[in-house]
A and B are shown apart, each in its own frame.
Chain A
Amino acid sequence: MIVQAEQLGKTYGSVKAVDNLSFTVTPGHITGFLGPNGSGKSTTMRLMLGLDRGQGRTLYGGQALVAHKPVSQVVGTHLDAKFFHPKRTARRHLRMLGAEAGVSAQRVDEVLNLVGLESVADKAPGSFSLGMGQRLGLASAILADPQVLMLDEPANGLDPQSIQWLRDFLTHYAQRGRSVLVSSHLLSEMQLMADHLVVIARGQLIADESMAQFVARSTKNDVFVRTNDPFGLMTALQTYGIVAAVEGADGLTIANGTTDQVGSVAFHAGIAIFELTARRASLEDAFLELTSDAQDFAVGGGAA
């Protein structure tokens, strides 16, 4: 089911938390939702669910959420790891949430088993760790097997094994033709998980494109070559319009060329190459570059 957020807006006093934001979450993909702290990610998700009042609309399969029934089979949400009554057992919490879609007790057990909470199903979640709370939140999101999953920072507090499990689970979920929108501050994790990105800063859209396209926008994508004649190779490259800069004693960095081009030029110039590497920027590199001037709550400088 396709999700279309159209011209979403939210203002707190004079501050525009979300400003005319439009994007699409497509089925079969995990869409990563990124932005610096305070950029409006959580507010956007709440607007999409009708929890916050603001401007714009969100369509699920072409219809507003209120037009669907049961709603929990359309969208499953996990917005916070602590959204539960501390004394209501995990099983009863899910039984309550399953009422809207008529979820069976058997399905509740199945989901508890799936997220690894079956041994604490009848315990009050007030004593749960953050990771267990995340699992319970995820269980409530997937309970009615919804067409769309909307998860806000679901990997916070999870151990590495659980993060890997979450990644595999969401990948499998998306492969079933479901839409997944997931926000996370763990950019390395997001790079492994998402194949499409929506990036916002100060409530405005910075990027809505594939992971590959977004990362390719970083200036840290370059080619490194180590040779016995760096200056000779630099001159040779210049004749083809390829700009190189010296890096280290025998290396060159090329920003506007490929490994194939550099290899060919070196071959024709008779220059030996010891190393030729295409260096790819990480999601973190690209994210930090593209949002560097949009940090509302940036950390301070060095120690005084």
Chain B
Amino acid sequence: MSAALLYEWRRITSIRSTYICSLLFLAATGAVTYLLYQVTSGAAGPPDQQPQPTHSVPLESVISAGTNPISIIFLTVIAAMAFGHEYRYGTIRLTLSEFPRRWKVFAAKLLVILGWTVVVFALSFVVAFVVLKVIGADLDPTTNDSWLSIGRTLLGALGYCAFAFAITLLTRNLVLGVVTPLLLVAVIEPLLKLALGDRFTWLPQILPMSAGTDYMLGGEDLLHNGLVFLAWVVGLLVAGYITFERRDA
């Protein structure tokens, strides 16, 4: 397993797009943090309504900077590339020639992607803090709820990446892996909710990305949303693994 992990580590770190997407995620996080500060502090409003130079920002604002769909898409690109590049360039056949036990390839890719996501996500907090320091904002004192919020957001981001990872594996298509979660969260699920209105009230409760987003943003019914999102992610990963195991490379 260690060889498969090293292989995947070298794969992910030997292409420029991994670094570009990570940097874009960090840059987007910084930009969104700055914009959120401007909006919450009223700095963008008329001069007579501007607050004092030092403004206190809740930690949740910093956290949400990294979890908006615009930022997180860069992380899902990295996740989708794990299998997307392999199938696009045919290197999956080289990989599986060396690792005929496919579960090792699947596990190594998932673990490295999730590990990379954790590291980049942690870095995004640093970026957000630095941005706030530079613009002279203070953070509210951290509480237990803040740490729970961080954990929840991180789990949500990991789920988001695993979702993209699984879609790419199922479709063997990098673009679909990246676009599908984004379309679901921004277009399909909102439209579906709108179209359903008061009918089938149970259906909006089990939509994957709505549940995931609500879970990350700490909305109501956290446990339900968390479990729905988890079920979708695990279900797609299992389906992806089964097809990966059974289909020709």
Contact = CB atoms under 8 A, between A and B. Distances in A.
Contacts of A92: 10, 14
Q: What is the interface residue range for chain A against chain B? A: 20 to 34
B93 A53 contact: no
Contact of A51 (B11, B16, B249): B249
Given A71-B99, A80-B90, A96-B11, 11 more contacts: A49-B96, A49-B97, A70-B3, A77-B94, A80-B93, A87-B15, A87-B17, A95-B10, A96-B10, A97-B7, A101-B98
Interface in B1-23: 3-4, 6-7, 9-11, 14-17
A46 B98 contact: no
Interface of B: 3-4, 6-7, 9-11, 14-17, 85, 89-91, 93-94, 96-101, 246-249
A185 interface: no
In terms of DSSP, what is the predominant structure of the interface of chain B? helix
A107 to B, nearest CB: 15
Given A52-B249, A53-B246, A66-B101, A88 B14 contact: yes
Nearest to B247: A53
Interface string A50-70: 111100000000000110001
A101 B6 CA distance: 11
A19 B214 CA distance: 54
Contacts of B9: 99
A82 interface: yes
Contacts of A82: 89-90
Contacts of A83: 89-91, 93-94
Contact of B7 (A49, A88, A100): A100
B93 A79 contact: yes
Nearest to A83: B90
Contacts, number: 84
Output the residue of A84, A100, A140 with the most chain B CB within 10 A. Answer: A100
Given A96-B11, A99-B3, A102-B3, A85 B89 contact: yes
A72 interface: yes
Nearest to B6: A99
A79 B247 CA distance: 18
Interface of A is mostly: loop
Contacts of A140: 94
Contacts of B10: 92, 95-96, 99
Given A51-B93, A51-B249, A79-B93, A100 B85 contact: no
A270 interface: no
A151 to B, nearest CB: 12
B116 to A, nearest CB: 16
Contact of A53 (B3, B98, B248): B248
Nearest to B91: A83
Nearest to A43: B248
A232 interface: no
Top-9 shortest CB links A-B: A92-B14, A99-B7, A51-B249, A96-B10, A83-B90, A52-B248, A100-B98, A99-B6, A50-B100
Nearest to A77: B97
A52 B248 CA distance: 4
Contacts of A65: 100
B14 A75 contact: no
Given A53-B247, A99-B10, A85 B97 contact: no
Contacts of B248: 46, 51-53
A71 B3 CA distance: 11
A39 B246 CA distance: 24
B77 to A, nearest CB: 14
B93 A85 contact: no
A71 B249 contact: no
16 contacts: A49-B100, A51-B93, A51-B97, A71-B97, A72-B97, A75-B97, A77-B93, A77-B97, A79-B93, A83-B90, A84-B91, A87-B15, A87-B17, A92-B10, A96-B14, A100-B99
